[in-house]
Amino acid sequence: MDKFFNPKAIAIIGASRDHHKVGFVILKNLRDAGYKGKIFPINPKAKVVLNERCYPSILEVKESIDLAVIAVPAAIALNALEECGKKKIKQVVMITAGFGEIGNHKAEEQLKKICAKYKIRLIGPNCLGLLNNHAGVDTLFLPASRLVRPKDGKISFITQSGATGSTVLDLMAKENYGFAKFVSYGNATDINEADLIEYLGNDPLTEVICIYAESIKEGKRFLRVAHQVVKKKPVIILKGGTTSAGAKAALSHTASLAGSFEVFKGAMKQAGVIVAETLEDLFNYAKILEKSFAPKGKKVQIITNGGGFGILAADYLYKMNLIMEEPTQETIKKLKKQFPSTYIVKNPIDLTGSAHAEDYEKALDACLKDKNSDMILLIILYQTPELDTNIVDIVIHANKLKKKPMAVISMGGDFTQKYKNILEKHQIPCFTYPNNAAAALKVLAEYYLKV
């Protein structure tokens, strides 16, 4: 499997001179991504593409090739795969659509046969292929002007739907999520979810695995593999087609037969896989699991400069079955001495609209030591005039101590966004809405308290 992600030479079958064609975009992206290996464009109608020598057939290439990307029409894709077999290429990504997903099951069966005959491992067809940020391998046929590539990081994402996957990638890149590997595997004719999480489970660069799937090809094997993987790193899954309406749509999309969601959810939970109910959940869970660490328990202390936000956060923490104890009497006494009488030292600790950055420092210092909490939910509303912006340094410092996982809620316009970005670059998970922060803390606690 590793040759998919770290190939020494890649062939692009269907490399094109037309800027709108998939075969052009893939070649361009691969070069722009800084891939250091050799690239062999294949196209019988061209001699040069993007200043690279172009070969009429893969069989004309003398050098050995680790990975072939097939981006030719369905009618000639089978032949291209056969040629890859003859050339002894063992890793193939087939971008081409027009197989099982449109009812062409015969062609899909032929794909399988060719793979078996030549011992080819195949990703696809009907997919975007893969992105290995760390090695500059990028077979996505989406231009970088429209889909910004994420920075290097610890999240790996595998997706049945190319469109869903690529938009997630795009939004995560914008929001500073770091990525290790991305695989859009389409029809999963050969390589499927179980293969991919098994590989990523052993990949030292991957620390969080996210999955979007409409069905799981080898259900039992997937659960068995997942159960092992989650002991090492969290696995989050979002399923499409969880209702009859969605399942009907899924049947048209990748010919997936979606089963009962309740059964699915139960099985996943038993295997230790985290089930996201929405794309937004997937984002929030991935964020906190990438950035944070193991809490000792489920007790959360809220520190806020907005009373209403503290109340909303308390509501959602309660709904998430997290626990809010008051700080110890010792902590309360100590803080009350340091604060004006208008501040409320309970849970939440409400520093009110008059809060200064130093008040957060005092509250954080006390709460990180307090035995009545395991996690800290900080609400920082940057709109108040007396809150100095060195608040971010205080939070970054407190987080570096790694005493208790922290999450920050901030809501607002550009001023707020600026400081949110700084905190996130320092590995502090930030959320806009209190309910999302509460749900993320719940997932963090549940994952680590179980394993």
Positions 42 through 101 that interact with a copy of itself (CB under 8 A): 97-98
Q: Name the minimum Å distance from CB 158 to a copy of itself.
A: 13
Site string for a copy of itself, 189-228 (x = CB under 8 A): -----------------------x-x--------------
Residue list 224-253, contact with a copy of itself (CB under 8 A): 240-246, 248-250, 252-253
Q: Max Cα separation, the chain?
A: 82
Residues found in the chain: 451
Residue list 154-193, contact with a copy of itself (CB under 8 A): 159-168, 170-171, 173-174
Measured from the CB atom, the residue of 109 and 280 that comes closer to a copy of itself is 280
**Is residue 301 a contact point for a copy of itself (CB under 8 A)?**
no
Angle at 37 between CA 55 and CA 69, to 5 degrees: 50
Give the residues across from 26 on adjacent strands. none
Token pair belonging to 212: 């979007």
Span from 77-85, 192-200, 302-310, 441-449 in contact with a copy of itself (CB under 8 A): 302-310
Residue 95: name the closest of 172, 30, 177, 2 by CA: 30
Given 220, 269, 346, 400, the residue binding a copy of itself (CB under 8 A) = 346
Token pair belonging to 290: 């990438």
**Is residue 312 a contact point for a copy of itself (CB under 8 A)?**
yes
Q: Name the minimum Å distance from CB 183 to a copy of itself.
A: 14
β-pairing, 48-49 vs 52-53, is antiparallel
Count of residues engaged in binding a copy of itself, rule: CB under 8 A: 89
**Is residue 147 a contact point for a copy of itself (CB under 8 A)?**
yes
Measured from the CB atom, the residue of 110 and 416 that comes closer to a copy of itself is 416
Q: Name the minimum Å distance from CB 57 to a copy of itself.
A: 26
3-state secondary structure 226-243: HHHHCCCCCEEEEECCCC
Helix-then-strand count for the chain, H and E: 16, 20
Residue list 114-143, contact with a copy of itself (CB under 8 A): 141-143
- Report the distance separating Cα 248 and Cα 255, nearest Å: 9
Give the residues across from 302 on adjacent strands. 377
Residue list 382-411, contact with a copy of itself (CB under 8 A): 382-386, 411
Residue 186: name the closest of 241, 142, 246, 128 by CA: 128
